[in-house]
Structures are given as structure tokens and as C-alpha cells.
Amino acid sequence: MKRLIQSAAIGALLILGASACSGEDAGKAELPDDRFLAIAHRGASEYRPENSLPAFRLAEEMNADYIELDVQMTKDGRLVVIHDEDLDRLADDPEKVEDLTLDEMKEIPFGDHFNEKHPVNAEPEYSGVTFSGLNDVLSELGTSINYYIEIKTPDESGEMEKAVLEALAAHDLIGEDSVKTDEEGLPRVMFQSFSEDALLRLHDMRPDIPLFRLYSFSDDAVLPPDQVERIADYATGINIPESSANKDFIEAMHVHGLKVHVYTVNEETDVKKLIDMGADGVFTNRPDIAVRMAEEKEEDRS
């Protein structure tokens, strides 16, 4: 059962500041306030191989608000779901994603890596898990879950962003000029990237889809005001590492109308700490925990 929230009210609060048209001054997408999001990082990746169909299915069963998935382009210009630029870590293979076709990647098993790293949750069947195309994931899960897509290693052509948008439209997750929403009013799709260029290209094409600028900080998160103002022009929020999260930063982002999602938060006490700090959501390998904490937050408010 999905979270008990006032669906209609939240739906009404999903304000798309963006008009249907693209281009300059098109505004940006806004999200409902006071909604703490449980985002399954690479799926429920504590329990099943990361970025795999089994991990995404489990995240859906756990009622995560979103599955986060990393997307890259293959040699034949198709979209594959994988975090790394090569297969070294996951499949003990030095080949690069850009040198493989999607069909080749779909034949490569990588679940042994998970079984070795997660002996408690290991299962023999995970050994045979292979890489998936973005289209495979969208076909399999459809509108049973929402998608928080990370654009990894984009080139400057914009072809990758266009291909992702085409796939989303083909699966009825975005309309011609407005993103579809779930029964609770949350957008079916959001994007994040470390590449501001990729986000700006997406904003130009689809200002109705929420965008999040990814940052990594070695210490406490802090950004110069002019940079924050620039980001606030096109992005719905900023995503930062757990180790850098602090109340002052989160409050400052809120003043600029930016949400803050924090990665990657796997312990209950840390999720609670971030809720108390005012964060708007967490990426987590353990979505069951974050969903429960978010529900408790909502119960406390009602």
C-alpha cells in the first residue's frame, strides 16, 4: 500500500512552474513541500545486485517513492543501466561501456559481485543477473514505480538526453509537454546529473521535468550565492553526500526554493537525523527503512 497522504492535496501542490514550451524563461518544475522522499539508490541495492531488475522490483515492493538508476550510452547508441564507465568492478572485465553494444552487455552476468560483497543477502540465482537496457526496465516496471534517472557521462551532442526522453515518452511516463504524475501527485520521472550542461539541455527540452544538480563535497556542503541562484533558475533541487549535509546549507537552499536530497543514507539513525535537519529525501540502498521513517514523519505531522 502506498503511503497514506492527502493525494488530492499533494497532486494540487505539484506546481509545474514551467510552461509547456521549451526555451529561455520557461520556468522550472516544482515539487510538493513537506514530502520526504525515499529513493531506492540503484534499486534496493543492499538486498539485490545494484541497478538490476530484481533490485528495482524489490524497491517497488518496498514502496519506495522512486528508483534511482544510472544510465549510460553504449557503442551502438542505446541506453544501458550501469553506474561505472567500465565493467571492471562489477564483472571483473576491463571493457568500457562505450565499446560494447547493448546486446553484448545484456549477455554479461554481474551478480557474483553482489554475492561476494553481501554474503547475508546472497542468492545463487543472482549470479546470472545481467545488465539491462533502460527500455527493459521501463517495460518491466511501467508505472508501478517512479524513476529518478542519473545521466552519467553525457557527451555534448545531447543525443543521450534525447534518447532518454524518447524512451520515457514511449512508455507513457511523460506526455508531449507535461510529465505524468502518480496517484500521489509525484512526477513519474526526475533527472539528476553532475553535468550541468546535460541538465541545461534537458531543461531546454523539457522544463516540466524536475532536475537535480549533483554535487560532491569533501567537507560541509557550501556554495557561493551566485552559483545557487544560477542553479535555482533551472533546477528543482540539489543532491549532496550524507557526510556534507548540514542544517545551514539545507535551510539556505530552501530559501532559494531548492529541495535537498542526500546520498547515500543506509542507517535508520542517519535518516532520522536528516529528516530533523530538514532534508527533502534520501537516496538509500535500504528503501524499506527510509519508507518507514518517511511514514512516521507523516504520522507525526497529522
Q: Measuring CA to CA, which residue among 278, 244, 276 is closest to residue 260?
A: 278
What x-and-dash track marks residues 19-38 binding ligand G3P by CB under 6 A? --------------------
- Respond yes or no: is residue 41 known to be catalytic: yes
Q: Which residue is nearest to ligand G3P (CB)?
A: 263
- Respond yes or no: is residue 113 known to be catalytic: no
* Interacting residue with ligand G3P among 13, 22, 27, 83 (CB under 6 A): 83
Give the total of residues touching ligand G3P (CB under 6 A).
9
Distance CA 37, CA 293 (A): 10
> 153: helix, coil or strand?
coil
Query: Binding to ligand G3P by residue 84, rule CB under 6 A?
Result: no
C-alpha cell at 60: 517497488
Shortest Å, Cβ 64 to ligand G3P:
13
Q: Measuring CA to CA, which residue among 247, 291, 300 is closest to residue 37?
A: 291
Residue ranges that bind Ca ion, judged by CB under 5 A: 70, 150
Integer angstrom CA distances of residue 145 from 38, 214, 283, 295: 12, 22, 15, 17
Q: Which is nearer to ligand G3P, 83 or 273 (CB)?
A: 83
Shortest Å, Cβ 157 to ligand G3P:
22
Only one residue has cell 551502438, namely 76
Integer angstrom CA distances of residue 89 from 1, 24, 96: 36, 41, 11
Query: Binding to ligand G3P by residue 182, rule CB under 6 A?
Result: no
Shortest Å, Cβ 241 to Ca ion:
12
Q: Which is nearer to Ca ion, 74 or 192 (CB)?
A: 192
Shortest Å, Cβ 275 to ligand G3P:
17
Query: Binding to ligand G3P by residue 214, rule CB under 6 A?
Result: yes
Q: Directed axis angle between helix 159-170 and helix 134-141, to 10°? A: 20
* Interacting residue with ligand G3P among 30, 46, 65, 150 (CB under 6 A): 150
Distance CA 17, CA 115 (A): 45
Q: Which is nearer to ligand G3P, 150 or 184 (CB)?
A: 150
Q: Which is nearer to ligand G3P, 26 or 114 (CB)?
A: 114
Choose from Ca ion, ligand G3P, none: what does 182 bind? Cβ within 5-8 Å by kind: none
Residues 243-282 binding ligand G3P (CB under 6 A) are 263
Only one residue has cell 510529465, namely 179
Q: Which is nearer to ligand G3P, 5 or 110 (CB)?
A: 110
Distance CA 37, CA 39 (A): 6
Q: Specify whether the CB–CB gap between 50 and 83 falls below 8 A.
A: yes
Q: Which residues on neighbouring strands pair with residue 41, listed in sequence order?
A: 68
Distance CA 119, CA 104 (A): 28
Would you please indicate which residues are annotated as catalytic (active-site) residues?
41, 83
Interacting residues with ligand G3P (CB under 6 A): 41, 68, 70, 83, 150, 214, 239, 263, 283
